[in-house]
Structure 1
Amino acid sequence: MTLQTDAPTPATPDGSSDKLDRQTLMIAGVVVLGAIMSILDITVVSVAQQTFQRVFDTTQANVAWTATAYTLALASVIPLTGWAADRFGTKRLYLMAVTLFALGSLLCALAPSLPLLVTFRVVQGLGGGMLMPLGMTILTRAAGPERVGRVMAVLGIPMLLGPIFGPILGGWLIDIASWHWIFLINLPIGVVALVYAQVVLPKDNVAPSETLDWRGLLLLSPGLALFLFGVSSIPEEGTVWSARVLVTAILGLVLIVGFVGWALSGRTAHPLIDLHLFRNRHLTVAVIAMMLFAIAFFGASLLFPLYFQQVRGEDALHAGILLAPQGLGAMITMPIAGILADRTGPGKVVLAGIATIVVGMGMFTQVGVDTSYTYLLAALFVMGLGMGSTMMPIMSSALATLNEHTTARGSTLLNITQQVAASIGTAVFSVLLTNGIKGSDAISASGALQAAGKSQEAIAAVMQRFGLDQADLRALPGQALSDLAGAFGSVYVVATILVALCLIPAWFLPRRKVAADSETPAPVMVGH
């Protein structure tokens, strides 16, 4: 059967018909399956880093490319998605993306060496990078502007739960089987997604007319990849001022600025990313809010499992389990927030969500070596409640005002924003934590003593260097752990302030329903 979803069900006077119908929910199921594959794969691989290091007998820096290569491929292909969706149709492109991702997963599982594994992760990333913007486009067109908040809430479930349950799934698969299964698990999901999409998604009815903006593609995709590579290198280099960071990031920025100039020059009728979308005030405010929020929240979220592992001594599996209250909180508020955003506009919903996250993040500023787990889990639950009311309503605020011709380009723009902002946030908070740790003499001395081993001469040299006596030596492990917890608390202060700053753009989000097409004109379609 083929489900026609181009037009949303008309609303009745009492507004009851704006509920999600069966057809839209079935399409949402297809999109969620794709999103689960793409998002889980990012976090699952993070658990396997030490395993890769041991199996391939290499360094952590080399192994890190298994994550970096996927992210760079993801960022490179996202700009192409909007054009390809309009040019070939969302169903064809979605089937191709799932197939490419599943093929990449199989190749990764069969990789005999680290270089080949990194290469096949690029193949995965090329497929995975199209799944999220395509999913947003498909859902927005299926539901219509009146119900975009609700369908975005559905799509938000894997976006929130992936980072939480990915490490749990990865650790479990590695423990009971082998690292190959963190990739093989994608194959049955991919097969189901392909069959499901073939049956449920409506047949494409496109009239190809737009030519690919090759110049824009050659500027933006390498620009994003180079910029994100530079930013992602900051934690490893430990400074922004290293040549590896500066050269690649600046070169990437130059290419991105070059694309902006090209897209606004008027010399191409169909730029790869339509920057004229920023004429839509609601989309512009939503993009700014999304960028600030992604930097603050996704950057800080990196620290939660690290705190449990480094300060509390938990392994990756149990650290992931301890993050579950965050996902539970999000699951409670997300459907409610979607309904409220559709009925009253996202403004009030997002403001309440951000304020709730500030409370939960503020609780983490007080973490110590022996902070109660009840307190920590409660803080994560509160943050989850806020998260469920924030990210997807911001996205729905942007997409609800776009027309059918601009939906694909708008969802692509939002995904680029989120990917870049999340990478910046991860780098910033990694450097803040690293600098906080380096600023502790106790932590430095403890590390130096570990390096000294049992050599009495080396131990004496460390004691002289840091001015330690025997009493200090006995108290050093506890002091180092306390300082480490303090470093985490200090970074959470910065995170709390950054999340609070998101209230400024959120204040300008619409607090009433905004009609589609109200501010974004349809583009001129050459050849029609």
Structure 2
Amino acid sequence: MTNPFRVAAAVIAGGVAVILDSTIVAVALHQLATDLHADVRTIQWVSTAYLLALGVVIPVVGWLQGRVGAKRLWMAALALFLVGSVLCAFAWNAPSLIAFRVIQGAGGGAMLPLMTTMVVQATGEADRNRVVSVVALPAAVGPILGPVIGGLILGAASWRWLFLVNVPLCLLGLLLAWRLIPSDTPSRRVRLDARGFALLSPGLVVLLWGLSNASGSFVRADVLIPLAAGAALLTAFVLRAVRLGPAALVDLDVLRSRNTWAATSLLFLSGAALYGAMFLLPLYWQQSRGSTALEAGLLLIPQGVGSLLSRVAATRLLDRVGPRAVAMAGFALVGLATVPFALAGEHTAIWPLMTALFVRGLGLGIVLIPLMTVAFVGLPHEKIPHASIVTRIAQQVGGSVGVALLAVVLANSGSFDVAFWWTLAFTAVAVALSFTLPKAGEAASHVALDRSDDAVVRH
């Protein structure tokens, strides 16, 4: 029988680099623009290209897993991410760096949903809370520690080490994947829903692109046109997927489970709160308080420490009081810890703000574990890849919406306190929505899905 903790160890070793990479470059954009002789608008594509590549690949991961098997796909994606990282480190100008970030994103886009899928499929219901809490750790801490690590690297070395630091992590991940992840037999009968792919991936890409353009206003052609096009393509995909059911590229029947749709909605909001704040906080320290990139990274350490420390407590609380209470408590902590920043001024003492960051990290660490666990409760084995893709897309789009909205608020108000009040609004909605999660002792499954052992997912 597969040991899920061995699978989790291999997945974390390889996946942590991908998760860190989502934010590690954020503090380096000014340095990259200077060293590569590019304007800010061009260098922003170093982050945008990575994000768009993720959007292209994530929807097709379920089909790829069925065709080549989870282990082969994981190792191939990790190898591609490794190649992209090395190429990024040796980029000679902004266009080459942007192109190599696309390669990185293609590998990372396959790994993000797959890391959850492999662990959940290897774990029984009884051990799922403990195992998922392990896998949730890099997902909770990685985006927070990214700017910290990025600031430390920039303070000691060239920006090229932002990418070279991935090399040992990827090599270790490949070794552990080869040794610890069991081989699985791919299904050669899986077909690609080509029309669904032609709707979903471009829809996500243009939607994310439109959101990334909203730096000062949503009322612009390069924002409204991509958002409208993306919404139209995604709507067409949803209508097609509902009609096709299990034959669709992503089986949206998983959202008929109350657990899955509630967790998906909350992951959207948690993505907005997490990535939105990670956009604001470094800017606050640097623009409002005059900190350097290194200092801003160091000042964010308490948030990462809080997320690390809350993991064990979250698992125990989940077993004792249930997902609803844990999620509500986590989002409430995030909201309360945001208030000091909304009230802070240029001369507010730093230590109260760092304490607030620690509490905010506790809340973020607590939130992800029940959401990542509940999303898969009651789902049959073959539905898990689809639920993983849906939740990952929700978190990715939520993060982009949060960043775009807060960027517009900050640009128009010129005030960090207004932007922080908006992040508080995200968490307030999440607290209310947490009531849809199951209570302790409530029936585990609210899924109206076909559970036949003979069911075959056809794409």
TM over 0.5: yes
Distance 1:216 1:93, change over 3 A: same
Q: After TM superposition, give the deviation of residue 409 of structure 1 in Å.
A: 0.8
1:83 to partner: Cα distance: 1.9
Q: Is the 8 A contact 2:148 2:294 kept in 1?
A: yes
- Give the letter for the 1:258 counterpart: A
Counterpart residue number, 1:405: 382
Taking only aligned residues, the RMSD between alpha carbons, in angstroms, comes to 1.9
Q: Find the partner of 1:382 among 330, 351, 359.
A: 359
Tell whether the 8 Å contact from 1:148 to 1:400 is kept in structure 2 after alignment.
Answer: no
Residue identity matched to 2:197: L
What secondary structure, in the 3-state scheme, does the structure 2 residue paired with 1:240 have?
Answer: coil
Distance 1:296 1:318 in 2: 23
Aligned pairs (5 A) from 1:470-481: none
Cα shift at 1:240: 0.7
The one-letter code of the counterpart of 2:281 is F
Structure 2 counterpart of 1:210, one-letter code: V
Choose which of 114, 120, 124 in structure 1 pairs with 2:100.
Answer: 120
Partner residue, 1:313: 290
Displacement after TM superposition at 1:293 (Å) = 2.8
Q: Secondary structure of 2:191's partner? A: coil
Paired residue secondary structure (1:112): coil
Larger Rg: 1
Aligned ranges 1:168-317 → 2 under 5 Å:
168-235=148-215, 238-266=216-244, 269-317=246-294
Amino acid at match of 1:260: V
- Cα deviation, residue 107, structure 1: 1.5
Deviations along 1:463-514, one digit per CA (max 9) or x if unpaired, are xxxxxxxxxxxxxxxxxxxxxxxx2122222222221121221011001355
State the partner residue of 1:496.
Answer: 424
Contact preservation (8 Å) 1:297, 1:499: no
Match of 1:349 in 2: 326
1:269, CA displacement in angstroms? 5.0
TM-score by length of 2: 0.94
- CA distance in 2: counterparts of 1:502 and 1:215, whole angstroms: 34
Following the alignment from structure 1 to structure 2, what is the Cα–Cα distance between the partners of residues 381 and 423? 24
Is 1:137 aligned to 2:117, yes or no?
yes
User: Residue by residue, what CA displacement relative to the aligned partner does 1:71-122 show, whole Å, maximum 9, x if unpaired?
Assistant: 0001111111122223322111100110110011111122222212111111
CA distance in structure 1 between the partners assigned to 2:140 and 2:390 by the alignment? 20
Answer yes or no: is 1:338 the counterpart of 2:315.
Answer: yes
Q: Does residue 322 of structure 1 match 2:322?
A: no
Counterpart position of 2:449: 520
2:207–2:231 Cα contact (<8 Å) kept: yes
Return the offset for 1:64.
0.8
Q: Secondary structure at the match of 1:204?
A: coil
Work out the CA distance in 1 between the residues paired with 2:151 and 2:426. 32
Question: With structure 1 as the length reference, what TM-score do the two structures score?
Answer: 0.82
How many residue pairs align between the two structures? 455
Deviating more after overlay: 161-170 vs 352-361: 161-170
1:421 aligned residue:
398
Contact 1:151/1:338 (8 A) holds in 2: no
> How much does 1:313 deviate?
1.0
User: How far apart are residue 343 of structure 1 and its match?
Assistant: 5.0
Identity rate of aligned residues, in percent?
Answer: 37
Gap change, CA 1:286 and 1:298, over 3 Å in 2: same
Query: Aligned-pair distance for 1:522?
Result: 3.9
Distance in 1 (alpha carbons) for counterparts of 2:154 and 2:268 = 34
Residue aligned with 1:165, SS: helix
Q: From the superposition, tell whether residues 314 and 339 of structure 1 become closer, same or farther in structure 2 (CA, over 3 Å).
A: same
Report SS of the residue matched to 1:369.
coil
1:505 maps to 433
CA distance in 2, matches of 1:63, 1:301: 19
Shifted more, 68-77 versus 295-304: the winner is: 295-304
Cα distance, 1:215–1:518 mapped onto 2, change above 3 Å: closer
d(CA) in 2 for partners of 1:160 and 1:280?
24
- Residue 258 (structure 1) shift: 1.1
Match of residue 81 from structure 1: 61
Contact 1:145-1:515 within 8 A present in 2 as well: no
Contact 1:154 1:335 in 2 (8 A): no
Q: Which runs of 5+ in 2 are unaligned?
A: none
Q: How does 1:37-48 map to 2 (within 5 A)?
A: 37-48=17-28
1:153 matches 2:133? yes
AA aligned opposite 2:81: F
Report the Cα offset of residue 339 of structure 1.
3.2
Tell which deviates more after alignment, 147-156 or 94-103. Answer: 147-156
User: Which runs of structure 2 are paired with 1:424-463 in the superposition (5 Å)?
Assistant: 424-437=401-414
Segments of 5+ residues of structure 1 without an aligned counterpart are: 6-22, 438-486
Q: How many Å separate the matches in 2 of 1:361 and 1:177?
A: 32
**How far, CA to CA, are the matches of 1:357 and 1:170 in structure 2?**
23
